[in-house]
Amino acid sequence: MERLAQNELEKRVDEVLYYEWDLIGVSDEPYARAEYRSYITSVLGHVENNKTANEIADYLCSIESDSMGLTSNKENAIKAAEVLIQHKEAIDEGCA
């Protein structure tokens, strides 16, 4: 993936984690904008490596339970994973 496309995908991963996944409900609080940034690189790797929505969702659920100590929400994670894949496909096809 060329650098420009990778930068765009990274921005979109950040947006999806903050606005779609938002497991702790901070997306309406501007001061919390950086809340999920520490997960961008690892989630981006999953998306770039063409993991399935289920694989990405499993990873998001592991963050929820292992890193954040929360009960994982598979349904929410699947929705976020599907959006991540759609963004990657759009960027790969030059539609972004």
Say if residues 14 and 27 touch (Cβ distance below 8 Å).
no
* Nearest Cα to Cα of residue 9 among 61, 47, 38: 47
Tens digits of residue pLDDT in 14-50: 999 999 999 999 999 989 999 999 999 999 999 999 9
Tens digits of residue pLDDT in 43-73: 999 999 999 999 999 999 999 999 999 999 9
Q: In the Cβ-directed half-sphere of 54, how many Cα atoms lie within 13 Å? A: 0
Q: How far is CA 55 from the centre of its chain?
A: 12
- For 56, residues 6+ apart whose C-beta sits below 8 A from its C-beta are 43, 46, 47, 77, 80, 81, 84, 85
For domain 3-92, give the fold.
Endonuclease III; domain 1 (1.10.340)
pLDDT band of 4, cuts 50, 70, 90: confident
Q: Is the pTM of this model over 0.85?
A: yes
pLDDT > 80? residue 96: no
